[in-house]
Amino acid sequence: MDIERPVPGQASRYDELLAPSTSKGDEASFNRASSSYTNHDARFRSSKRTYDRQYAQLYFSRLMLLKGVMRKRVEQLWPGVPVCSILEVQEGKEVAVIGTIYKNMKLKPSILDEYTKDRGLKAALGAANFCADDDSVVMEDDGARMVLSVAAPGTMAAAAAQQPGWAAGDGPLAVQELVTGLVMAVRGVHEPGGDFYVSAVAFAGLAPNPHPLPHPLPPLPASGTAADAAAALAEARPGDKYLALVSGLGLGGSRADMLATQLAADWLTGNLGSPAEQQLAAQVVRLVVAGGGIGTLEGLAGAAATAPGANPYNRAAQAVALQPVRDLDLLLAELAAGLPVDVMPGPEDPANVALPQQPMHRCLLPGAACHGSLVRATNPHEFEAEGVRLLGSSGQNVDDVAKYCGLRDRLDVMQRTLACRHLAPTAPDTLTCYPFTDADPFILDSTPHVYFVGNQPEFATRLVVLQPSCAGSGAAGSNSMAAGAGAGAGAGAGAGAGAAGGSSSGAGGGEGQVVVRLVAVPSFARSGTLVLLNLRTLACHPVRFDGSLGLGADGGAGV
Amino acid sequence: MSSKKDSNKDGKLSSVYRQTKPGAPVGPATPAKTTRASGKRKAREEDTTPAPEVLARSQGEGAVSRADLSQDEQKLRKFDLTTKFGPAAGISRLERWERASKFGLEPPEEVRTIIMAAGGPGSAADKGLWHDRV
C-alpha cells in the first residue's frame, strides 16, 4: 500500500506526529532505562518522638559534633593561635574561639512582642527578609557567650588584623551573611573592658566526598551563557540516564495549572511527544517530587468556612480538605505506574511540621502506595542513583536562612550552608525542628554530589568544584566561588542563573576535589518547569510545560 | 534536758542542732547544691513519701545539708552540675552519660555504675536534679 511519507531530508521535529499513522509493525517502542538506587534516609527517620525535651540539648550536640572539624580547620588556617573556650578568654591575648552564632535581629518576629508592643508593621511583613543594618552577632559555646565586634582602627585588635595574610578592615565579620545556629571559629582579641574584636572568621568548609563519581565529569565551559549551555547539552550521549526533579505541584491550590501538570505527567510516562521526545523521556530513570504536592487550601480559609456556625468537621468541609490529597494520590499513582517516584513531604503537605519531616503515611496515598515503585521519602532526602549521591530538601531550610540573612541568591545560601556543614542552621531557632538530644542529623559529614532544594522562586544551578576545606582567602574560609558554569539556561524557561564563576580557588589538581552540583528546583505551580539532571555529566536543564495554547507554548524540552 | 542530751550522745549531733522553719525558703547557710536545686517552684508538694534523695531536693522541710547525702548521691549531683557534659535539664542522667561518652568527653565511669546499680534507666538515681522541675 502506497502511503505518502514526508521527504526524509526535510523532516522537522514534529513530522512524525503529523504524518499518517504507520502500521502496527513499524511502531517504535521505547524501554525505560533503569538505574541502581539506594535509599539513605535512615538518619532522618525517627520511630519514637518525645517532644518534652529542650533545644539546649540539640545545640550542645551540634557544637560537639562540629568541634572536631573546626579545631582541625583552625589549626590549618591559623597555626600558632591557641584555641580556648569563651570562659578562658583572657584580655589582651589573641586567641581563637569556636562556638555557635546567635544573631540579634530587632526585626525578627518574637512571640514576646504580642505582650509588649502592638503588632503593626511586623505582622504585615509576612515572609519578608528580616535583616537590618544594626544586627549584631553573639557567639556561644557550652560555657558562656560573648559579643563579637569588628575592631575599631587604632586598637590592638586592628593592628593584629592588619598583619599580612589576615583579613583586613571591616571585612572579617560579615554579619549580613551569618544566621543564628552556624558553628564557626573566630580569631581575635578581647579588649580590656570591651568586646571581643574579630580579625578573621572560619567555617568548617565543604566536607569531602568519600564516594568518587563513577564517571569523570566533562570539562566545563568557562562562562555560563546559553550557547555554552546548549553545548553542555550536546555533550549528552544517547545512553545517558536522567533524573527528573519537580516540586511545588500545588494540587488543590488556586495556582495549580492542571493542564501543565497533566502534560508533565504524560511526558514523563512517555505518552506525549514525537519519538524523539519519547526517547528522552525513556531515559528518565526516576522522578523526585521535592515537596509541595498539596497547594494552599484556600477553600478552608474562605468565607464559608470561617462564618460563625461553620463546622469544619462536617462532610462537606472534609471533602474540600481531602480533595487535594486524593488528586495527589491519583497523580502519583499514574506516575508510579510509569517510572520510579520518590515523594518528599513539603511545607504544606500532610506530614509533621518539624524537620526532619517523616514520610507521608501510606494511608494518605492508597492508590499510589500499592506500586512498589513509589518511595515515600523523608525531608531532607538522601539517596544514591547510578553511583551519584544526592541530597535534597523541600525548601524550608533554605527559605528560612534566606529570610534572616542578606544573601539574595538562593544558590549562595545553599553553598553557604554546605560550607558550614549544616543543612538547616536556623533550626530550631526559627525553623521548627525535633528536639534531638545526642545527634544532629542535619550535619553533613560528607558532601553529596548533587544538592537540590525544592519550592524555590526560580530555577538556578551551579557546579561547585573546590578543594575540601581549602584555604581560599583567610577571612571567608571556603566561601569563595569556584569556577562553575551553570549549564542549562534553556530558552523560555525560568531565569537560568548559570553564574559565570569568579576566580577558581585552589589550583587544578583533581585529587581530593569536592564537586557539588547545586540545583534550585522551581515551584511547578508557578513556573511549570521541571528539571532534568544528567546522572553522568551532572549537567541539568529545565523542561517547561505550558498549558496556555496559542502563546508560543512548547510542550517539550526547552533547548 | 540532760536525758535528751545523753540519748543523743552517740548519735549524730547534727540531728539535734538542725533547724528548719516550715514553709520558709532555704537560707544562704545551706550549701549551694541544695539551694540551687530547691530554688524553683516554691509551691511544689510531694504527694507520696519520697526517697531521701528526692526529699533532699525539695523545698523547705526536709532540706538536708551536704553531709547528710550519701557519697553516691554527691557524685551524681556533681555529674549533673558539670557543664562540660552538656545541659542537664530535660534529659535523664544515663542518657546524658551515654551522650558524653559518645562525644569523647570522658564522663566518670562510677556515675554509670551507681545508676545501673540503683536499677538502671528509669530508676530514682537516673532522674537528674532538674527532673520534673524544668
Evaluate whether B24 touches B32 at the Cβ level (below 8 Å).
Answer: no
Evaluate whether A89 touches A191 at the Cβ level (below 8 Å).
Answer: no
The residue ranking higher by pLDDT, B55 or A385, is A385
Distance CA A376, CA A374 (A): 6
Nearest residue, CB atoms, B86 vs list A52, A53, A57: A57
Distance CA B49, CA B51 (A): 7
Domain membership of residue B106 (yes or no) is: yes
Helix (H, G, I), strand (E, B) or coil at A96: strand
Distance CA A475, CA A465 (A): 19
Beta-carbon contacts of A275 under 8 Å, excluding residues fewer than 6 positions away, are A16, A28, A30
Residue A390, classified by CB atoms within 10 Å of its CB into exposed (0-12), middle (13-18) or buried (19+), is buried
ipTM score: 0.71
The residue ranking higher by pLDDT, A477 or B104, is B104
Evaluate whether A542 touches A242 at the Cβ level (below 8 Å).
Answer: no
Strands (E), A11-81: 37-39
Cell, residue B112: 554509670
pLDDT of A552 reads 47
User: According to the per-residue pLDDT averaged within each range, which of A113-122, A212-221, B107-116, B125-134 is highest?
Assistant: B107-116
Side-chain half-sphere CA neighbours of A110 within 13 A: 10
Which residues of chain A does CATH 2.40.50.430 include?
A: 78-202
Q: How many domains does chain B have?
A: 1
pLDDT of A167 reads 35
Nearest residue, CB atoms, B102 vs list A52, A54, A438: A438
| Chain A residue numbers touching B132 (CB-CB < 8 A) | none
In this structure, which amino acid lies at residue A5?
R
pLDDT of A157 reads 46
Over residues A388-398, the pLDDT tens digits come to: 999 999 999 99
**DSSP assignment letter at A61:** H
pLDDT of A505 reads 33
Nearest residue, CB atoms, A54 vs list B83, B87, B102: B87
Kindly give the parts of chain A with pLDDT less than 70.
Answer: 1-17, 20-28, 112-127, 151-171, 219-236, 296-310, 312, 468-512, 549-559
| Chain B residue numbers touching A143 (CB-CB < 8 A) | 83
Tell me how many degrees the CA angle A375-A378-A382 measures, rounded to the nearest 5. 85
pLDDT of A532 reads 93
Whole domain around residue B110: which residue ranges? Answer: 71-126
| Chain A residue numbers touching B105 (CB-CB < 8 A) | 64
What is the side-by-side order of every strand in the sheet holding A284-290?
Answer: A374-376, A341-344, A284-290, A242-246, A529-534, A540-544
Distance CA A139, CA A182 (A): 10
Q: Do A438 and B87 touch (CB under 8 A)?
A: no
Q: Compute the radius of gyration of chain A from its Cα atoms.
A: 26
Residue of A nearest to B102 (CA): A438
Instruction: For chain A, positions 406-445, list CB contacts with chain B under 8 A.
Output: 437-438
pLDDT of A422 reads 94
Name the nearest CA neighbour of A97 among A71, A122, A77. A71
Q: Which of B93, B102, B132 to mutate to test the interface with A (most CBs of A within 10 A)?
A: B102
CA distances from A9 to A5, A66, B85 (A): 12, 63, 77
Class of domain A37-45+207-301+313-468+513-544: alpha beta
Name the nearest CA neighbour of A407 among A140, A116, A175. A175
Q: Which of A59, A60, A66 to mutate to test the interface with B (most CBs of B within 10 A)?
A: A60
Helix (H, G, I), strand (E, B) or coil at A396: helix
Domain membership of residue B91 (yes or no) is: yes
Evaluate whether A39 touches A383 at the Cβ level (below 8 Å).
Answer: yes
The 3-state secondary structure of A421-478, one letter per residue: CECCCCCCCCCCECCCCCCCCCECCCCCCEEEEEEECCCEEEEEEECCCCCCECCCEC
Q: Is A53 on the interface with B (CB under 8 A)?
A: yes
Q: Is A6 on the interface with B (CB under 8 A)?
A: no
Domain membership of residue B115 (yes or no) is: yes
Beta-carbon contacts of A472 under 8 Å, excluding residues fewer than 6 positions away, are A478, A479, A480, A505, A506
Cell, residue A234: 550536546
Which residues of chain A does CATH 3.60.21.50 include?
A: 37-45+207-301+313-468+513-544
pLDDT of A504 reads 33
pLDDT of A426 reads 92
The residue ranking higher by pLDDT, B89 or A160, is B89
Helix (H, G, I), strand (E, B) or coil at A286: strand
Evaluate whether A292 touches A248 at the Cβ level (below 8 Å).
Answer: yes
Instruction: For chain B, positions 57-116, list CB contacts with chain A under 8 A.
Output: 83-84, 86-87, 89-91, 95, 98-99, 102-103, 105
Cell, residue A4: 505518502
Q: Tell me how many residue pairs between chain A and chain B have CB atoms under 8 A apart.
A: 34
Mean pLDDT over B4-29 rounds to: 53
| CATH 3.20.20.10 for the A78-202 domain, yes or no | no
Tell me how many degrees the CA angle A81-A83-A89 measures, rounded to the nearest 5. 100
Q: Do B99 and A61 touch (CB under 8 A)?
A: yes
pLDDT of A210 reads 85
Query: Is residue B72 predicted with pLDDT exceeding 60?
Result: yes
Evaluate whether A204 touches A512 at the Cβ level (below 8 Å).
Answer: no
pLDDT of A408 reads 87
